[in-house]
């Protein structure tokens, strides 16, 4: 494996000879490695992109190139550091943004930004506030981006599309698990209409479409050692969608008092303090630019994305675990239960969440 990784990494235009390659991080989809180089040259991130999930890796890499080029121009214009405040994609020696190996696997490389921290959990309201500010800035950096972007995963946060997949998965019952899941399936069905009603607002344009990250959990954001956000990483799902996805998914991640896959449900819930902190940071950057419809659904978007996550984990369990990497056989079911507990906690605190949004909007408008 080491020799194969070396061979693959050597296809890319690295600034120095390779010293070592090791596995990195906890991604559920791609395989990630850190390529350390000799001397003062940067180190690099090497990723095997999951072609089962991303059917068109070249189009995805082109999205990432366009978006990072745009952000880089803005960072340079503002006097920032373009090697730290945006991801840098490294092409192959032939100038291609990916390499296809002998097995037909797709690989890509970016510069590893050193002296940074990627958190798996938000441990303070200050960090949540900074995270909100970071995604607010990311959206602001892309507000004037006008190039078309490919849809890297069809209907990614589109619940109408998810229901098509869901209905098929239930009908197929590939792993024969549906009979034991009546209660969990009921959780999804009982909220189907309200989730579709929300998505209709995106479809009819009431809620505008913008450039969005779509995977804003905390470990996809790089912080510097002073606690400031440097940049968003894992741009595989950058697409045109609603900005509410990014707020909602971040709330799902930052405010959870337990783990995404906690077996101990007593630990899981939404911290209202963390919600307030993230919301304050986010709206400090975005309040003036958002449409009223986006503000109206901001708190709801956390319920929407968390619901969608319950559906996606449960659907993968029903399908026999074909999408997410799992560490043990019932991992997707444990994730389903933990995310459902989080959803319930949001539902219980929904009025307070709406109040917090109103206050923050008033503060920044």
Report in angstroms how near the CB of residue 249 gets to ligand GN1 at its nearest. 6
Report in angstroms how near the CB of residue 316 gets to ligand GN1 at its nearest. 10
When CB distances are held under 5 to 8 angstroms depending on the partner's kind, the choice from ligand GN1, Mg ion, none that residue 240 binds is: none
| Nearest CA among 276, 315, 73 for reference residue 174 | 315
| Nearest CA among 239, 249, 247 for reference residue 285 | 247
Report in angstroms how near the CB of residue 105 gets to ligand GN1 at its nearest. 17
d(CA 154, CA 157) in angstroms, rounded, equals: 9
Could you give the C-alpha distances from 96 to 90, 133, 200, 202, 330, in angstroms and in order?
Answer: 9, 33, 39, 35, 40
199 is written with which tokens? 């998505």
Q: Which stretch binds ligand GN1 (CB under 6 A): 26-34, 106-114, 117-125, 159-167?
A: 26-34
Cβ closest to ligand GN1, residue 11 vs residue 303: 303
Report in angstroms how near the CB of residue 217 gets to Mg ion at its nearest. 7
When CB distances are held under 5 to 8 angstroms depending on the partner's kind, the choice from Mg ion, ligand GN1, none that residue 309 binds is: ligand GN1
DSSP for 272-311, please give it.
HHHHHHHHHHHHHHHTTTS-HHHHHHHHHHHHHHHHHHHH
Q: Is 220 in the site for Mg ion (CB under 5 A)?
A: yes
Q: Is 28 in the site for ligand GN1 (CB under 6 A)?
A: yes
Q: Kindly identify the residues of this chain, within the stretch 92-151, that bind Mg ion according to CB under 5 A.
A: none
Number of residues that bind Mg ion (CB under 5 A): 3
Cβ closest to ligand GN1, residue 29 vs residue 127: 29
Q: What is the CA radius of gyration of the chain?
A: 20
Q: Is 215 in the site for ligand GN1 (CB under 6 A)?
A: yes
First to last CA, the chain: 55
Cβ closest to Mg ion, residue 125 vs residue 234: 234
Q: Is 27 in the site for ligand GN1 (CB under 6 A)?
A: yes
Q: Which stretch binds Mg ion (CB under 5 A): 25-33, 252-260, 277-285, 353-361?
A: 25-33
Q: Please state the separation of Cα 46 from the chain's center in Å.
A: 19
Cβ closest to ligand GN1, residue 199 vs residue 360: 199
Report in angstroms how near the CB of residue 216 gets to Mg ion at its nearest. 10
Beta-sheet strands, E only, within the chain: 18-23, 31-37, 44-49, 89-90, 99-100, 106-111, 116-117, 210-212, 221-224, 229-232, 239-241
β-strand 106-111 against 221-224: which pairing, if any? unpaired
Report in angstroms how near the CB of residue 233 gets to Mg ion at its nearest. 7
Q: Give the list of residues 6+ apart from residue 300 with CB closer than 8 angstroms, or none.
A: 198, 244, 350
d(CA 98, CA 267) in angstroms, rounded, equals: 41
Q: Is 234 in the site for Mg ion (CB under 5 A)?
A: yes
Q: Which stretch binds ligand GN1 (CB under 6 A): 71-79, 131-139, 185-193, 229-237?
A: 229-237
Q: Give the one residue of 184, 234, 280, 319 binding ligand GN1; rule: CB under 6 A.
A: 234
When CB distances are held under 5 to 8 angstroms depending on the partner's kind, the choice from ligand GN1, Mg ion, none that residue 262 binds is: none
Biggest CA–CA distance in the chain, Å, is 59
| Contact assessment for residue 116 and residue 43, using Cβ atoms and an 8 Å cutoff | no
Q: Give the one residue of 47, 237, 306, 345 binding ligand GN1; rule: CB under 6 A.
A: 237
d(CA 276, CA 319) in angstroms, rounded, equals: 37
Report in angstroms how near the CB of residue 37 gets to ligand GN1 at its nearest. 25
Q: Kindly identify the residues of this chain, within the stretch 312-351, that bind Mg ion according to CB under 5 A.
A: none
275 is written with which tokens? 């919600």
For Cα atoms 75, 80, 83, give the angle at the middle one, nearest 5 degrees: 80
When CB distances are held under 5 to 8 angstroms depending on the partner's kind, the choice from ligand GN1, Mg ion, none that residue 246 binds is: none
List the x/- string, 258-277, binding to ligand GN1 by CB under 6 A: --x-----------------
Chain residues binding ligand GN1 by CB under 6 A are 27-29, 53, 215, 217, 220, 234, 236-237, 260, 309
Chain residues binding Mg ion by CB under 5 A are 27, 220, 234
């Amino acid at each position: 494996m080491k020799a194969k990784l070396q061979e693959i990494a050597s296809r890319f235009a690295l600034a120095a000879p390779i010293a070592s390659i090791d596995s990195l991080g906890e991604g559920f989809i791609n395989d990630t490695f850190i390529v350390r180089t000799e001397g003062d040259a940067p180190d690099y991130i090497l990723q095997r992109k999951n072609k089962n999930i991303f059917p068109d890796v070249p189009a995805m890499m082109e999205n990432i190139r366009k978006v990072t080029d745009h952000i880089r121009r803005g960072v340079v214009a503002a006097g920032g550091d373009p090697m730290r405040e945006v991801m840098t994609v490294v092409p192959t020696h032939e100038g291609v943004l990916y390499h296809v190996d002998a097995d037909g696997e797709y690989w890509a490389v970016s510069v590893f930004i050193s002296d940074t921290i990627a958190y798996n959990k938000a441990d303070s309201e200050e960090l949540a506030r900074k995270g909100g500010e970071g995604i607010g800035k990311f959206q602001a950096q892309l507000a004037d981006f006008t190039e078309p972007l490919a849809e890297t995963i069809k209907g990614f946060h589109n619940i109408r599309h998810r229901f098509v997949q869901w209905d098929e998965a239930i009908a197929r019952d590939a792993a024969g698990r549906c009979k034991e899941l009546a209660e969990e399936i009921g959780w999804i069905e009982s909220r189907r209409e309200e989730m579709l009603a929300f998505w209709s607002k995106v479809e009819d344009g009431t809620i505008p479409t913008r450039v969005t990250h779509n995977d804003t959990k905390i470990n996809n954001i790089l912080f510097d050692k002073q606690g400031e956000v440097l940049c968003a990483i894992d741009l595989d799902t950058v697409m045109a969608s609603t900005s509410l996805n990014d707020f909602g998914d971040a709330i799902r991640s930052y405010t959870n008092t337990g783990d995404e896959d906690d077996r101990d449900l007593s630990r899981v819930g939404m911290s209202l303090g963390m919600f307030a902190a993230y919301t304050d940071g986010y709206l400090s950057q975005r309040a003036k630019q958002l449409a009223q419809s986006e503000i109206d659904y901001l708190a709801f978007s956390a319920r929407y994305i968390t619901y969608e996550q319950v559906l996606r984990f449960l659907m993968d369990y029903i399908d026999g675990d074909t999408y997410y990497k799992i560490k043990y056989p019932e991992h997707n079911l444990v994730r389903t239960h933990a995310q459902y507990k989080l959803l319930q906690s949001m539902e219980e605190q929904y009025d307070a969440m709406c109040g917090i949004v109103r206050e923050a909007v008033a503060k920044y408008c």
